[in-house]
Amino acid sequence: VALTVQEATGTHTVCYDSGYLNTVMARSSITYIDGEQGIMRYRGIPIEQLAEQSSFLEVAFLLIFGDLPSKGQLDQFSKLVADHSFLHTDICDYMRSFRYDAHPMGIFISSMAALATTIPAGDLQQLDKHIYRILGQASTIAANAYRHRIGRAFNEPRMDLGYTENFLYMLDRLSERDYRPHPAIVRALDILWIVHADHELNCSTACMRHLTSARVDPYTAISGAASALFGPSHGGAAEAVVRQLERIQTIENIEPFLERVKAKEERLFGFGHRVYKSFDPRARILKEQVEKILELVKVEEPLFLVAKELEQRALQDEYFRARRLYPNVDFYSGVIYRALGFPTDFYPLLFAIPRIAGWLAHSREAQLAEAQLDVREHTHVVRPAQVYTGSAPRPFVSLEAGD
């Protein structure tokens, strides 16, 4: 809505756009989305091909540096990330100081910000020096947050394991014996992290660009972006899906539940998307993984039958078809996380770790554009305008005078 604002200096027109639905804040060459046709590409490469053929770190490299790595570049990148995955003991002590039942995302956000305090202030401004450390330490922090929650000692990362394998290893290793996560689970997590790595200017990524514009250090900025992701309206949908399935509980309850949804008494979580109106390409990829994981873990839980039946009935229902409501990425990621045994409050971390690749890519893109002083790209500190709706000028009244 265009508004005309009367100011002391004259009159000008501004666009009132509270959710930035129609405001472009950046030119970006990272992720392309066509919601009508269900297309998503990272740096021009279809997400389906990346999910099938690449690894999470390969995708992180692609997003951050703009091109797929050569074999040598990927080996070097992976080694640097692994080299930087060990945490300073002060950070481990800090993590142990949280209550045993603290929300793991709260621990993650705080520890990410705390990392900045272990680095000399002068070293903090150059993002490229910190990319490996942020990627490496994010998964160690997340694993420690999980271990803290279950009252177990932290596990040191292993240099000889891949990124997702190492993360699963740090979560689950119970003794000195040589524990290795199942390769199919490692691959499923890799795919989950590939499809979650970026989604152009979602709320947390916009937040990252916002913080980058103020030149805050990368650790504090990542912590800020993770805070935005922590919001139930952003990174909490997978958890909401599982809680909803728990509530529905049985197949008999699906029909009455759908009736309530159609009567607008509640929403069907995991369905519908602001951008994707024909299908969510990430959901298609994950649907296949759900089948594989359920087959592998062989958990006989009514929840999974309810999920399948709910998906089928909603897909055939005229209410959802007419409104172009299809399962989104969170419908399936919630089911996979549940099948893999992750506690529900850990889901936001499983979203945050891969999204760090996207946050770093956007931060780097914004910094490079500014360094090149490209007039088109050059932005000032992000500072949206407001329309003042408060009181007209009035004098201060002291407490005494008011009595």
Residues in touch with ligand ACO (CB under 6 A)? 237, 261, 264, 267-274, 323, 325, 328-330
Distance of closest approach, residue 26 Cβ to ligand ACO, in angstroms: 20
Q: Judged by CB, which is closer to ligand ACO: 113, or 268? A: 268
Q: Active site residue: 198, 217, 280, 330, which one?
A: 330
Distance of closest approach, residue 303 Cβ to ligand ACO, in angstroms: 17
Determine the residue with CB nearest ligand ACO: 272
Distance of closest approach, residue 212 Cβ to ligand ACO, in angstroms: 22
Burial class (CB in 10 A: 0-12, 13-18, 19+), 66: middle
Q: Judged by CB, which is closer to ligand ACO: 215, or 324? A: 324
Q: Judged by CB, which is closer to ligand ACO: 264, or 298? A: 264
DSSP helix/strand/coil, 100? coil
Lookup: tokens for 180? 């290795």
What is the rounded distance in angstroms from the CA atom of residue 115 to the CA atom of residue 142? Answer: 13
What are the CB-based long-range contacts (under 8 Å, 24+) for 94-102?
95/141, 95/144, 95/145, 95/148, 95/154, 96/148, 98/148, 100/148, 100/149, 100/151, 101/149, 102/148, 102/149
Q: Judged by CB, which is closer to ligand ACO: 83, or 266? A: 266
Q: Judged by CB, which is closer to ligand ACO: 270, or 348? A: 270
Distance of closest approach, residue 327 Cβ to ligand ACO, in angstroms: 9
Say if residues 2 and 16 touch (Cβ distance below 8 Å).
yes
Q: Active site residue: 88, 234, 317, 345, which one?
A: 234
Furthest-apart CA pair in the chain: how many Å?
77
Q: Active site residue: 130, 196, 273, 362, which one?
A: 273
Question: Quick one: which of 222, 178, 179 has its CA closest to 204?
Answer: 222
Distance of closest approach, residue 343 Cβ to ligand ACO, in angstroms: 20
Lookup: tokens for 340? 């893999």
280 a catalytic residue: no
273 a catalytic residue: yes
Residues with catalytic roles: 234, 273, 330
